[in-house]
Homo-oligomer: A and B are copies of this chain.
Amino acid sequence: MKITGNLFIGAHEVWANAGTMKALNPATNEEIEPSFAFGGREEVDRAAMLADEAFDSYNATSLPRRAEFLERIATGLEAIAPALAERISLETGLPATQLEGEAIKSAEQFRQFAAVVRQGRFRQATIDPALPDRQPRPRMDHRMQKIGLGPIAIFGASNFPISYSVAGGDTASALAAGCPVIVKAHNAHPGGSELMARVIQQAVADSGLHEGVFSMVRGGGNAVGETLIDHPLVKGVAFTGSEVGGMALYRRAQQRPDPIPVFTEMTSVNPTFVLPAALAARGASIGDGFGERMLVNVGQACLKPAILLAVAGIGYDALREALIARVAAMHARPMLTPGIWKSYTQNLSDREGAGAQRIAQGGAAQGVWDGQSALLEVDGTQMLESPSLFEEVFGPAALLVRVKDVAQFVALAKQFRGQLSATMQIDEDDFELASCLLPTLERRTGRIVINAFAHPQEVSYASIHGGPFPATSDSRFTSVGMTSIERFLRPVCYQGFPDALLPEALKHGNPRALWRLTFGELSKA
């Protein structure tokens, strides 16, 4: 498929003059054609002005029309899925079949959000009818709905180059909310980004929407991202990536004269707690399952289970041996970028310096950016004294914690910072201890899993991909699942409005047959 290296500013593809780059093939360390343009302030300004111009009309689109737009994006993604997967596989070293599945799942996500838009519950339509005879004073008619926040800047990740990128969940949920989107493309997959941008741009045109509903910019260094975050017409930000990057962006946005909402999804070690009865009954199977999951995508997943805690006792050795076997059997594979490979190598060495022992490693690296799998072990007492061992090593490594007793198990659980997910492996005899652990995990975790491993992430109504800091910058939201739309919505109350001036969700007679809260009761009346 055509790849030009252009930026996408509204309805136009434009070249820009702030430098160029080429994609790198991590399997061969060779550059891939063509060159991609870097933009600067001019392109960001133009995209932001168009997004601002687009807001009023896009935010006012009827629910069916907005849903059809999202479905056009889904259809477009499905049509290019094989070509998209092929290009991104070259740029990332991830398997093309896996990427094609990711493209199909991302298309499906746009369809799911189209359904959410048609259902219209995200509007949270609420009606307190007038009470003209109320004492001591009458009540006027009050109606509330949620509308879009404004233009949203989206910073995708490198590790899921479709579902957390240009056509990922952030874009889908922001567009569903009624917000124009400006994506800053990730430079680890520029060709794939372009292909996805073209699909969305085409869907905007085919839907007859204002061109400013979607733009995609690209830049070298941080300047383009900083210009986006600082831009007065940008009203919200979504980011997936490292804690350092996410926090720099977060703090910058909070220093604006008008701070704006920022949701950054950053880091998680997704601890797995193996409770004694489960350990005794099936230690080997748990070790094997954990080992399989931790190595998916060369360990480059936000949901990689990175820390496994078990009380030394019956089943521990079986678990340990099974896990060692998995890690030892894995060959080295290319990591996403040279920077990620370098951090992985450094972090692994740091953790050994902090008292963890390397007890297994996979096949040696062949290519220059190949990540070699590793398993570390530490005893619980040492762990409690080593805060760095609770931190993420992004890559194919995990830490096995040999816990002294149940009291230490609970003490360790309390030392974790915020997490996207935590897992308990339990049998019925573990229910009492699981109940004790549960409040500790609820406080620290967006999702608690029983008897499975957290990866992969469901995209559904109940799924949450969020959690207390530093898993995300705001535990009240999620970046995956249907409720991720809440990040980009704000309430507006309409008081004393004649029907002619009310928005569709709040009109008398409920023309869209939405669920609405009237006098405090839900109905479709």
Contact = CB atoms under 8 A, between A and B. Distances in A.
A460 B496 contact: no
Nearest to A497: B450
Q: Which of A445, A464, A498 neighbours the largest number of chain B CB atoms within 10 Å of its CB?
A: A464
B126 A446 contact: no
20 contacts: A56-B443, A124-B483, A126-B462, A128-B463, A144-B483, A149-B475, A258-B470, A431-B501, A446-B490, A447-B494, A449-B495, A450-B497, A451-B496, A462-B493, A463-B493, A466-B490, A476-B487, A476-B489, A476-B490, A522-B522
Given A127-B462, A251-B254, 13 more contacts: A59-B439, A59-B442, A60-B439, A126-B483, A142-B458, A144-B463, A254-B259, A258-B417, A435-B501, A449-B495, A449-B496, A450-B498, A476-B486
Given A147-B442, A515-B522, A492 B473 contact: no
Nearest to A491: B464
A114 B447 CA distance: 28
A331 interface: no
Contacts of A469: 258-260
A115 interface: yes
A368 interface: no
A431 to B, nearest CB: 6
Given A447-B493, A470-B258, A143 B475 contact: no
A140 interface: yes
A447 B438 CA distance: 40
Contact of A149 (B142, B149, B434, B476): B476
A132 to B, nearest CB: 13
Contacts of A124: 483
B492 A478 contact: no
Given A142-B463, A258-B470, A500 B431 contact: yes
A55 B468 CA distance: 15
A520 B478 contact: no
